[in-house]
Amino acid sequence: MSEDVFILGINMTKFGKHPDLDIQDLGAQAAMAALADADVSMGDMGILAYGNLVGQTFGQQLQKQIGQTGIPVYNVQNACATGATALRTAIMAIKAGECDMGLAVGVEKLAGAGLLGAGGGGGSKDGHHWEPSGRVGAVATTDGRIGTQQMPGTFAQVGMEYLYKNDYEGTPFELFAKISVKNHKHSTLNPLAAYTKEMSLEQVMGDMMIAYPNTRPMCSANCDGAAAAVVVSAAKLKTLSAEQQRRAVKVSASVLTSDPWQEACQVLPDVNTLTRVAAKEAYEQAGVSPEDLDLVELHDCFATAELVHYDNLQLCEPGGAVDFFESGAPWRDGSTPVNVSGGLQSKGHPISATGIANIWEVCHHLRGEAGDRQIEGAKVGMAHVIGLGSACGVHILESSAA
């Protein structure tokens, strides 16, 4: 169980609209590109872990396009952490000694899906009112079609609660909008992002309000996309070429958590505790501290989420997320660059692909292959995803060869 695991190859499609490609086409594109990046074939794989949430498809269908070799297929669904969970599934199989190389794929088609789950969790005969029903409805407040049972309402409240608890005296709307300005600015250097348009503070604040204080540009963009990774054991890596070893990225920590029980989270999901626990475990596994991180890709499903996760991931002192942001630290030229890919708000959020796509971004910097957005000298990075339901995946990666 102590076997080290490395990412040998990784790739992602461009996120956005792909009307001419179905889910399996997108998944195959990412999978074959990851295999090519690793300089291996499907015949070398001992496991396929496949993540697809909304499309309800299976890895066995993907095999028909990338190779049916008889290996075990694990079909994974874990909210927005689906891709990260698929990768962790392949990592665990290697650590357990079941195989020495595996493939993880996350894919989704969400372009044009609109606000997922916007029905509010209940319905009425006339379709115009929200009525609580079932177990969740019994404890949920009747707060409209976009309320605390939906992601926009949840993360809006989470962000505002953080500011309230930490006695923030500024203007919340402007603060959170500035986070979105940062991510849209970063996206202009990422050719695979769904949106690569810089936006001014006025443009972000003046757009359609979704759930105060998040306007449309401050929300993750549903889109089509896929990402895939090939993982390999340390022992197997040593038998491969010098170039494969040079480009391999060590998985120093792989952690998955869910919400511990709390009375309050039966109504408003707690997105903080499971992330804090995952981060703590990841730092301990990797033997590094937050100060060692050269970049972080975190789950900015909303601008409000990014702020609270600065604190949850220990990138700042407890309660110090506002000061951390206002210091300029999370900009790509700051002390702890965050979401240099543009984040979910710009790069896009094809749910099941996001976890692996965040890792793709970190790997490219650790390999020195990130082009114009390269963080110079990057050696250690973190990728984080969180899904309501609940699931949090944190991976710490290092550019160290076997």
349 is catalytic: yes
Q: At what angle do helices 59-66 and 23-38 cross, to 10 degrees?
A: 60
Strand, helix or coil for residue 209: strand
Residue 390 has pLDDT above 70, yes or no: yes
Euclidean distance between CA atoms 22 and 31, whole angstroms: 14
Burial class (CB in 10 A: 0-12, 13-18, 19+), 203: middle
**pLDDT of the residue at 151:** 81
**Cβ partners under 8 Å of residue 216, min gap 6:** 207, 208, 209, 210
The two beta strands, 249-257 and 209-211, are unpaired
Residue 136 has pLDDT above 90, yes or no: no
More confident: 110 or 116 = 110
Q: What is the DSSP letter of 77?
A: -
Residue 32 has pLDDT above 60, yes or no: yes
* Nearest alpha carbon to residue 338 among 368, 383, 397, 377: 383
Q: Find where tokens 């110079």 sit.
A: 376
The least confident of 102-106, 126-130, 202-206 is 126-130
The least confident of 93-102, 148-157, 173-182, 357-366 is 148-157
* Nearest alpha carbon to residue 106 among 79, 136, 69, 132: 79
Residue 169 has pLDDT above 90, yes or no: yes
Euclidean distance between CA atoms 149 and 135, whole angstroms: 12
Residue 209 has pLDDT above 70, yes or no: yes
Measured from the Cβ of residue 13, the count of other Cβ atoms closer than 10 Å reads 23
Residue 122 has pLDDT above 90, yes or no: no
**pLDDT tens-place string over residues 265-307:** 776 778 899 999 999 999 999 999 999 999 999 999 999 999 9
Query: What phi and psi values does residue 192 have, to the nearest 5 degrees?
Result: -95, 0
Kindly list the distances between the CA atom of residue 373 and the CA atoms of 262, 301, 332, in Å, as whole numbers in the listed order: 41, 21, 8
Residue 247 has pLDDT above 80, yes or no: yes
Euclidean distance between CA atoms 351 and 220, whole angstroms: 10
**pLDDT of the residue at 194:** 96
Over residues 68-97, the mean pLDDT reads 97
Residue 121 has pLDDT above 90, yes or no: no
Catalytic one among 184, 186, 309, 349?
349
**Cβ partners under 8 Å of residue 270, min gap 6:** 259, 262, 264, 390
Over residues 229-242, the mean pLDDT reads 97
Domain residue spans in the chain? 5-112+221-398, 117-145
Mean pLDDT (the chain, rounded): 92
What band does 143 get if pLDDT is binned at 50, 70 and 90? very low
Euclidean distance between CA atoms 353 and 57, whole angstroms: 14
What's the topology of domain 5-112+221-398? Peroxisomal Thiolase; Chain A, domain 1 (3.40.47)
Q: Find where tokens 């919340």 sit.
A: 172
More confident: 184 or 140 = 184
**pLDDT of the residue at 297:** 98
86, 73 in Cβ contact below 8 A? no
**Strands in 13-100 per DSSP E:** 48-51, 73-76
> Which amino acid, residue 319?
G
**pLDDT of the residue at 264:** 76
Over residues 130-142, the mean pLDDT reads 58
Euclidean distance between CA atoms 205 and 187, whole angstroms: 18
**Strands in 44-109 per DSSP E:** 48-51, 73-76, 101-108
Residue 211 has pLDDT above 80, yes or no: yes
Over residues 167-177, the mean pLDDT reads 97
**pLDDT of the residue at 120:** 39
